[in-house]
A and B are shown apart, each in its own frame.
Chain A
């Protein structure tokens, strides 16, 4: 029950908010309290998830469309573990961070955020392909509204672009899923959309041709996920979406939603199509490297801070993809780590840019300058997050980037020679922005505020928003072992059995289920009320 509870509790909360009064402040407080409860609830996973075995745990399975073998099938393993926590961790931070950013239709906004949380967690927990697809797609809807209603001037264009791109990719994925369901019928004797059954399929593969079943399925899924990541050349929706999205939208989009793509690669593409993966990995590695360099170069010449961070995402997610298709322990571990890093550091960057934007209503780099002298605390935080983003050791970014590059080097070193240029370029685009925004003579906007004698530095609430992120940046940089031990066995299991991956349901899952008696559930509900 725990997984369903974690997944659907935000829906309950959303309903409660929908039917509450219209006092905006109370609503916001409620929403933050709710998401904190949700976060606390997700922390129970530390207690009930057993990281020593590479099985699917806390499983829940109920038939849904029995004729087609579609079931409500949820489970957790080391690959999804941290992504769930990342989601529940970032949501309250985002809500607190957007306390003043969203000024109209607060209720709708909060409902959207909570529904988004459900769909994201569901995506990471669903172990049934159709269920996954549903969550994957449903997550678009609240995001569509977030950008479309609370976004910037050009928001409709951006939302359409975002929506069409993602839908376009998803269509191929849906076709592939249906195809595989039929395949299950012919090979296993029953129709199934369970991922565990998908892993068992023998999918014909011919290396010489592009038109072999496994290759086609591989690319169908890859396209859907590559758009979501986004990988070059499917990335152009991202900068537009980010620039138009309100701060919370950007944080969640970059922090969590992009990971649905890389998670998809790890959950579907690599284990299901091992031969095609092996054979075609170079395509994705090449796209990853191009993405790293291209994203960094284009980020360098941006004039809008948010767009710069958006392009830096393209570069950073390129690293994740690189690590995944290194197909070894170091690479995949690094990729998982980098997903979390990117969630934290890019989320933090969007929050920081949002904080200053709220005050000045401009994100144009050339309007700034000398901010370090006028907003010292903001500047210190920004520089710390910058260091994390450019992977300076002792921050989280370094661990991920190092493992990815070392892993890829062991597998395919020719790609690494290109990818390391990203290390230099990242420093270039971030520090150049830092220099233009924070150093030098006071820019137009900063001077204006100084003349008005109005503060530009962050307030206590914003500091509280940043603090957990900063702590995580250093914690993950110094003690990666404490994080990795929760995903280690699952990653090793995947890497060691990459050509014949199987995932079994944890034996004690039933027992786990009974751990949550009705009383527990009631207790939790009481707490909520």
Chain B
């Protein structure tokens, strides 16, 4: 079929779904709303499949399908059009967005069946997909920014979906405002790039890059990349702007799966990969990105160790996994970062939906201390969740193993890498294995701690199908990127499909040479340590249940520090937000009311007192008025005479 038609269906089917549901938002018919939304998603998914098939058929060096919709902003030299481009990088994204998106829409029908506003929910969800597609398909920074802010808006609306609860509304607001800090950075990045290269279009921009990387922090590309990275920090929840993501769990769980795990939060990674030709010119910023990524990976994972809310654990886990992706792009491992982005979308969406299934079964309970032993009651959820668990802790041959291992390997061997980054990455992996096993033990294994009044049950088929599909993907999803050392010993030597697919779109960062044994050893270390850590967690939470509490009591200070998330939120409030509000009040009450207004009062008093003086001149005596007229005439005449 014609590419323009496919492109239109891909992008506009979700938008039409949004309009359909948006205009009848008061309806409570969740089946109709859901069917329309899923139908739109399916259309979108099928057209993206067809487009990607066409892309596969093309010459690898010219894999690109463009779609021009209309001229958008054309002012002076500035041109940004509503144009889209599908290339190998965005192809991966649209498949994830529409594919995982469809599954999550399907899951939502069951999950939102008791809700009061299902139509509105599906409208927002479709609108989100539309914006996400704009973000990944835009052929210039401005269209990307439209999607960038658009997904933020949808995230705001969906986090605060149950707006009657002030706390949830506040979480939405926090997400939007924190993201806006990032967006301001993104804008500055655009300004820098346009000022120095005169374009905002990706392909043009990359073709105008200098020959060799810049060295100085103050050089324009460095500054541009730095500000763009601030944008990525906001959207992809990296230190120090990660604080909104854990709170974002206030939204419905499928939203957490779709927006806050699989798609939107990876936008920052995607943006950097999309601009890899630009970022590679700024090695210092790359180093910063890798460092922030590695630190976030460890930091967030450590908080995940102590949380009791199942969604909070997954949220911190997401922040941590995003950290890995940034570690990847930071060392120039763009392909592994995209790879991890994809596998993470599978297994994290799976686990969020799994947690949704659990929460649904538990009548909304999210505290893991009130769960346990659900394995017997919810076999499908439990089984698929186990697959996700194995994937995230990086057990071979599950999906997460291949992608995470590739990032760790390149963080060590890339010319931009460093062994410290690798060590941080391994620590993160160890922590991940621990908190995820802890979650499994508390929720699915061991004895039941479910309160008597709740009667958990396995979820309906519309909710388990997505789980099963995502479960399968969490197993096989990694096989498209099997590293060379492994494929060499496998029968048939399966090729690294993903590597070949992305090769032409990415700048290759040279790797230092290490012997093959070393690669096996590195792999063994991370897998081994993760395994030990998982076993330890099992031991703690199943075999010796009193140990965690004892350790927490013994090291109460560090435990409290971590349990309270390092007091970061409190710090932001007491040191930034509250002072800002106090200053603003000061401005209003002091500067506006006291200073400026008082000056004007003084001025008007002065004028009034002067006018009192003038009033005396108007005393009603005609002789005196005549005198004024005379004086006036003299002045005018003398002016005329002297003037001529």
The residue from B26, B169, B184, B192 contacting A420, defined by CB atoms under 8 A apart: B184
Q: How far is the CB of B577 from chain A (nearest CB, A)?
A: 9
Q: How far is the CB of B458 from chain A (nearest CB, A)?
A: 33
Verify A387–B153 contact, CB threshold 8 A: yes
Q: How far is the CB of A132 from chain B (nearest CB, A)?
A: 25
Verify B73–A399 contact, CB threshold 8 A: yes
Residue of A nearest to B74 (CB): A481
Verify B76–A416 contact, CB threshold 8 A: no
The residue from B71, B165, B176, B592 contacting A431, defined by CB atoms under 8 A apart: B176
The residue from A161, A392, A402, A440 contacting B187, defined by CB atoms under 8 A apart: A402
Q: How far is the CB of A178 from chain B (nearest CB, A)?
A: 14
Bound complex: CA A421 to CA B166 (Å): 26
Is A165's beta carbon under 8 Å from chain B? Answer: yes
Residue of A nearest to B599 (CB): A233
Bound complex: CA A428 to CA B577 (Å): 11
- Which residues from A are CB-within-8-Å of B585? 301
- Which residues from A are CB-within-8-Å of B596? 233, 236
Interface residues of B in 571-590 (CB under 8 A from A): 580-581, 583-585, 587-588
Verify A333–B75 contact, CB threshold 8 A: yes
Verify A406–B587 contact, CB threshold 8 A: no
Verify B177–A376 contact, CB threshold 8 A: no
Verify A330–B166 contact, CB threshold 8 A: no
Verify B184–A423 contact, CB threshold 8 A: yes
Residue of A nearest to B167 (CB): A440
Is A373's beta carbon under 8 Å from chain B? Answer: yes
Residue of A nearest to B181 (CB): A424
- Which residues from B are CB-within-8-Å of A427? 176-177, 180
Given A300-B581, A301-B585, A423-B180, decide whether A405 and B191 contact each other with a Cβ distance below 8 A: yes
Verify A435–B173 contact, CB threshold 8 A: yes
Verify B587–A298 contact, CB threshold 8 A: yes
Interface residues of A in 424-448 (CB under 8 A from B): 424, 427-428, 431-432, 434-435, 438-441
- Which residues from A are CB-within-8-Å of B72? 478-481
The residue from A334, A376, A421, A424 contacting B25, defined by CB atoms under 8 A apart: A376
Bound complex: CA A484 to CA B145 (Å): 21
Verify B76–A330 contact, CB threshold 8 A: yes
Q: How far is the CB of B32 from chain A (nearest CB, A)?
A: 19
- Which residues from B are CB-within-8-Å of A432? 173
The residue from A302, A373, A405 contacting B163, defined by CB atoms under 8 A apart: A373
Verify A236–B76 contact, CB threshold 8 A: no
Is A177's beta carbon under 8 Å from chain B? Answer: no
The residue from A236, A294, A297, A302 contacting B580, defined by CB atoms under 8 A apart: A297
Verify A330–B164 contact, CB threshold 8 A: no
Q: How far is the CB of B557 from chain A (nearest CB, A)?
A: 34
Interface string of A7-31 (1 = CB under 8 A from B): 0000000000000000000000000
Verify A420–B188 contact, CB threshold 8 A: yes
Verify B150–A393 contact, CB threshold 8 A: yes
Residue of A161, A301, A370 with most partner-chain B CB within 10 A: A301
Q: How far is the CB of A380 from chain B (nearest CB, A)?
A: 8
Verify A424–B164 contact, CB threshold 8 A: no
- Which residues from A are CB-within-8-Å of B277? none
Bound complex: CA A370 to CA B162 (Å): 11
Verify A484–B75 contact, CB threshold 8 A: yes
Given A334-B75, A393-B145, A398-B146, 13 other A-B residues pairs in contact with their CB atoms under 8 A: A301-B584, A328-B76, A373-B164, A376-B26, A393-B149, A416-B191, A423-B183, A428-B180, A441-B166, A479-B70, A481-B71, A481-B73, A484-B75
Could you name 10 residue pairs across A and B whose Cβ atoms are closer than 8 Å? A236-B596, A328-B76, A405-B191, A416-B188, A423-B187, A435-B172, A438-B163, A439-B169, A440-B165, A484-B74
Q: Lowest 7 CB-CB distances: which A-B pairs, in order?
A: A440-B166, A439-B169, A329-B76, A297-B584, A393-B146, A409-B191, A439-B163
CB within 8 Å of A: which residues of B? 25-26, 70-78, 142, 145-146, 149-150, 153, 156, 160, 163-166, 169-170, 172-173, 176-177, 180-181, 183-184, 187-188, 190-192, 194-195, 580-581, 583-585, 587-588, 591-593, 596-597, 600, 604
